[in-house]
A = this chain, B = another copy of it.
Amino acid sequence: MTPLRLGMVGGGQGAFIGGVHRFAARLDGKWTLVAGALSSDPERAAASAADLGIAPDRAYANYEEMAKSEAARTDGINAVAIVTPNHMHAGPAIAFLNAGIHVICDKPLAATQKDAGMIKAAANVSKAKFILTHNYTGYPLIRQAREMVERGDLGRLRVIQAEYTQDWLTNDTQNKQADWRTDPKRAGAGAIGDIGTHAFNLLSFVAGLETEALSAELHSFVEGRQVDDNAHILLRFNGGARGMIWASQVAVGRENGLSLRIYGEKGSIEWYQENPNKMKFTKFGSATQILTRGGPGIGHGTDRWARIPPGHPEGYLEGFANLYSDAADLISGIETEVPLPDINAALDGMWFISACQKSSANDGAWCQK
C-alpha cells in the first residue's frame, strides 16, 4: 500500500517524544513524514525539518498556517501527530480537526479540563478522527489479555492492580523534560498525568470495565515540587471489581515499571512492560503458564500484531508502531481488531487526573465518575 502522508507539530531538535512517534510511524512503512511545524522557534523549525527531509515549503512556522496550507493541498497530509507539551495540545488539535485532518495526539489530552472540553467539542463536529497515543495498548500480549478477559478466560473480574513507577524525578532534577513535566501550568499534573493516565488507560483497555469511583492520595516528596510525584489510588469498577494504582516518579531503581495484574473468579494474568513478550496466565487450580508473544498455546494469537517469531523480543517502539499501523488502517477504512484510544478514552484520562486531585485534596474521599 502507498504510505499515508504524515505531518508533525512539535518534535523538533532536542525534543523526546517526537522522535518516538517518527520511529513508530516509520517502522511498518505505512506513513511518510512530509510536513511539520516542528518548533515554535522558526530557525529550529526549519533546521529540524531539513534534518528530517521535509521539503522547505512544508516546513511551517506555526500550526495554524500548516493546517490551512495542508488542507488546501491535493497532496496534503492525511494526519498530523501532535507531540508538544500538554498545554499546547488544544491549539493544534482543534485547528487540524477543524481543517478535517486526522489527529494523532500524545497523552494526556490536555493540561486543563477546559482545553480538553474544547478539543472534545472540535472532535465531535469534525469528520476527522482523533487518536490519543496510549501506546502500551499496542503491545501484542496486552491485546491478547483484553481478548482473554472479553471471552471469559478469567471469569468475572475481582481485583485489578496497575503500577507505573520511575525514579528519574527522585531529586530536584533540572532539564528540558523535567522542567515542563513538573510545571503545573504546562503539564497540568505530575505523575498522575504523565504516567498514571497510561496505567489507568491500560487497565481500562484490558479489563473492559467502567470505573465508578476513585480515592487518591497524591504526594510531592521533593521539596518545592508543585505537582505530585507519587500517587496511591483505589478504584471501584462497575460489577464490583476493585483496583489499585501506584504511580511514582521517585521510586528508586524503577525505570519504566509499568505492570498490570488482573484477577478474576477463574483465572488471572500478570504482565510487566519491561519484559513485554511474556505474560503469566493462571487458571485457578492449574499451574501458572508463561505465555509468550506468538508462542504456543493462547499466546499464539498475538502473532497478528507482531513482526517476528516468538523468542525474538519486540519492544516499546513496535508496540507504539502498532498504534500508527492501526491508525493508518482506520483512516484507510480498514477495520482494526482492537479499538484505538479515541476522544472518549482521552476524556477518561482527564477525569482520572481531576478525580485524583479532587479526592486527594479532600483527604481521600471517593470521587464518583
Q: A: which residues have CB within 8 A of B?
A: 2-3, 16, 19-20, 22-23, 26-29, 52-53, 154, 158-159, 161, 166-167, 170-171, 215, 217, 219, 221, 230, 232, 234, 240, 242, 244, 246, 248, 250-257, 263-268, 270, 273-277, 280-292, 295-299, 307-318, 363-366
Q: Let me know if B277 and A287 touch, CB within 8 A.
A: no
Q: How far is the CA of A246 from the CA of B284 in the complex (A)?
A: 20
Interface contact B263-A251, CB-CB below 8 Å:
yes
Tell whether, in the assembled complex, residue A287 and residue B290 are in contact, meaning their CB atoms are under 8 Å apart.
yes
Name the contact of A280 in the complex, choosing from B253, B256, B314, B316 (C-beta under 8 A): B253
Whether the Cβ atoms of A256 and B363 lie closer than 8 Å is no
Contact check, A230 vs B158: say whether CB atoms are below 8 A apart: yes
Chain B residues with CB under 8 A of A267 = 252-253
When the two chains form their complex, are residues A264 and B290 in contact, meaning their CB atoms are under 8 A apart? no
Q: Chain B residues near A16: list those with CB within 8 A.
A: 309
Out of B234, B248, B310, B317, which one reaches A234, CB within 8 Å?
A: B234
Q: Are A311 and B242 in contact (CB under 8 A)?
A: no
Alpha-carbon distance between A232 and B161 when the two chains are bound, in angstroms: 10
Cβ-defined contact, B2 with A53, below 8 A = yes
Is B313's CB under 8 angstroms from A273's CB? yes
Measured CA separation A28–B158 after assembly (Å)? 40
For the complex, would chain A's binding face be called helix, strand, loop or mixed by DSSP majority?
loop
CB < 8 Å: which of B159, B215, B240, B287 contacts A299? B287
Question: Do the beta carbons of B221 and A232 come within 8 Å of each other?
Answer: no
A284 touches B219 (CB 8 A): no
Known: A26-B27, A158-B250, A307-B317. Is A287-B296 also a contact (CB below 8 A)? yes
Docked CA distance A292–B230 (Å) = 23
Contact of B312 with A314 in the complex, beta carbons under 8 Å:
no
Contact A252 B230 (CB under 8 A): no
Q: When the two chains form their complex, are residues A248 and B263 in contact, meaning their CB atoms are under 8 A apart?
A: yes
A257 to chain B, nearest CB (A): 7
- Kindly identify which residue among B27, B232, B270, B277 contacts A253, using a CB–CB cutoff of 8 Å: B270
CB-defined contacts of A217 to chain B, threshold 8 Å: 215, 234, 242
Closest 7 CB pairs of A and B: A255-B311, A253-B282, A256-B311, A287-B297, A313-B315, A312-B316, A252-B268
Contacts of A315 in B (CB 8 A): 277, 312-315, 318
Q: Please state if B264 and A252 are interface contacts (CB–CB under 8 Å).
A: yes
Residues of B within 8 A of A275 (CB): 275, 313
Give Cα A275 to B311, complex, Å.
9
**A240 and B222 alpha carbons, distance in the complex (Å):** 12
A134 to chain B, nearest CB (A): 14
Supposing A311-B274, A318-B317 touch, asked if A292 and B287 sit within 8 A by C-beta, the answer is yes
Q: How far is the CA of A16 from the CA of B37 in the complex (A)?
A: 38
Q: Are A311 and B159 in contact (CB under 8 A)?
A: no
